Amino acid sequence: MSLQHHKVVLVGDGAVGSSYAFAMAQQGLAEEFVIVDVFKERTVGDAMDIEDAQAFTAPKNIYGGGYEDAGDADLVVITAGAPQKPGETRLDLVDKNLGIMKSIIEPLMASGFDGIILVAANPVDILTLAAQKLSGLPTTRVFGSGTSLDTARLRADLGKKFNVDPRSVDAYILGEHGDSEFANFDEATIGGRSIKAFAKDANISDEDLDAILYATAHKAYEIIDRKGATFYGVATALMRISKAILKNENAVLPVGAYMDGQYGLNDIYIGTPAIINNQGVASVIETPLSDSEATKMAASAKALKDIADEAFAKINL
């Protein structure tokens, strides 16, 4: 039996990052875990705090560090960036967070890092593309959390509506992690049976399903209005994706993956199911879309591309 040693570097020890560090500790994932942030004292404090949980979970080497610690890391997770204030969209953060991403990728790559980058900072699809272009790493080894959180929200609401465990719902939010996202209701299933057929039996209308999509797409705003930020959901999604990478699971998960012709799209990252293993995105699953869903995917991609083109031009990317 080989002793596995996985090293993960977290960049951004705010609400999302520290919750992710805690989730990883709870799951006993990553034998070595480095926390990096401009607020250095906080990374040391968080590492000490999480260390106190190890006697109940699993021992690991967790410490506040710097980019010089990333050279031999398997995975770098980037949660550094300004979060939305009430009333702001994710896309409003683009210029500020692109500057932060640039300041991270340069020292990260200077460390000799050659692993996988997983991005969560918003607007995540655009920042993931920036991270890939700035790092020069293969597109399969740089990807984003994409619509993983949105898909979790959708499955939870559908689970409640149809009275089934959300883990048994096979439905996806696709497109931008943001206002132009959409659900694949025309193909979604529970136990292999179409959700639309379940809905018909239960007198649930298309308008009811659209209301579920609306609630999913607006849940971040609802949470931010009440507590200022969202973090537990995305931290758990990041933990789940990290586990698929570190354990080489070949798990099918919704992520923000690079488009190389899938859905007729190129050179953008967008929310889609993909197979995730220790190589990153092993392959993108181009899930079937009805005509109206394909139109929504194209519109979502255009919304992302327009913002990315404008923002990248400002930093010569």
Ligand X SMILES: NC(=O)C1=CN([C@@H]2O[C@H](COP(=O)(O)OP(=O)(O)OC[C@H]3O[C@@H](n4cnc5c(N)ncnc54)[C@H](O)[C@@H]3O)[C@@H](O)[C@H]2O)C=CC1
Residues labelled as active-site residues = 177
Residues lying near ligand CC(=O)C(=O)O in the complex (CB under 6 A) are found at 84, 90, 122, 149, 220, 230
Residue 90: other Cβ atoms inside 10 A: 22
Q: Of 64, 81, 178, 273, which lies in the binding site for ligand X, with binding defined by CB under 6 A?
A: 81
Residue 230 counted as an annotated binding residue = yes
Residue 181 C-beta: closest distance to ligand X, Å = 11
Query: Closest Cα partner for 35 from 26, 48, 27?
Result: 48
Q: Is 82 annotated as a binding residue?
A: yes
Binding at 140: pick from ligand CC(=O)C(=O)O, ligand X, none (beta carbon under 5-8 Å per type): none
Residue 123 binds what, of ligand X, ligand CC(=O)C(=O)O, none (CB under 5 to 8 Å, by partner type)? none
Q: Looking at beta carbons, which pairs linking 307-311 to residues 24 or more positions away fall under 8 Å?
A: 307/91, 307/94, 307/123, 307/126, 308/94, 308/126, 308/129, 308/130, 308/268, 311/94, 311/95, 311/98, 311/126
Residue type, 264: G
* Residues facing 10 on adjacent strands: 35, 77
Distance CA 144, CA 148 (A): 9
- Which residues have C-beta within 8 Å of that of residue 249, sequence separation ≥ 6? 243, 276, 277
- Report cis status (omega within 30 of 0) of the bond before 288: no
Is 73 known to sit in a ligand binding site? no
Could you tell me the CA-to-CA distances from 277 to 140, 170, 243, 251 in Å, in that order? 10, 20, 9, 7
- 195 vs 256, which CB is nearer to ligand X? 256
Identify what 12 binds: ligand X, ligand CC(=O)C(=O)O, none; CB under 5 to 8 Å per kind: ligand X
Instruction: Compute the radius of gyration of the chain from its Cα atoms.
Output: 19
Nearer to ligand X, 23 or 199 (CB): 23
The pattern of x and - marking residues 2 through 41 that bind ligand X according to CB under 6 A reads ---------xxxxxxx-------------------xxx--
Is 287 within 8 Å of 254 (Cβ atoms)? no
In terms of CB distance, is 90 or 161 closer to ligand CC(=O)C(=O)O?
Answer: 90
Does the protein bind ligand X through residue 98 (CB under 6 A)?
A: no
Please pick, from the candidates 65, 83, 115, 254, the single residue that binds ligand X as defined by CB under 6 A: 83
SS3 call for 263:
helix
CA 67 from centroid of its chain's CA atoms: 22
The 148-167 site mask, x for binding ligand X (CB under 6 A), equals: -x------------------
| Closest C-alpha to 9, from 64, 46, 59 | 64
Report CA 104 to chain centroid distance, whole Å.
Answer: 18
Residue nearest to ligand X (CB): 14
Which of the listed partners (ligand CC(=O)C(=O)O, ligand X, none) does 287 bind, with a CB threshold of 5 to 8 Å by partner kind?
none
Among 145, 151, 262, 287, binds ligand X (CB under 6 A): 145
**Closer residue to ligand X, CB minimum distance, 12 or 273:** 12
42 is in an annotated binding site: yes
**Which amino acid, 81?**
G
Q: Which residues bind ligand X (CB under 6 A)?
A: 11-17, 37-39, 79-84, 93, 97, 100, 103-104, 120-122, 124, 145, 149, 177, 229-231, 234
Q: Which segments are annotated as binding site? A: 12-17, 37, 42, 67, 81-82, 84, 90, 97, 103, 120-125, 145, 150-153, 230
Q: Which segments are annotated as binding site for substrate? A: 84, 90, 122-125, 150-153, 230
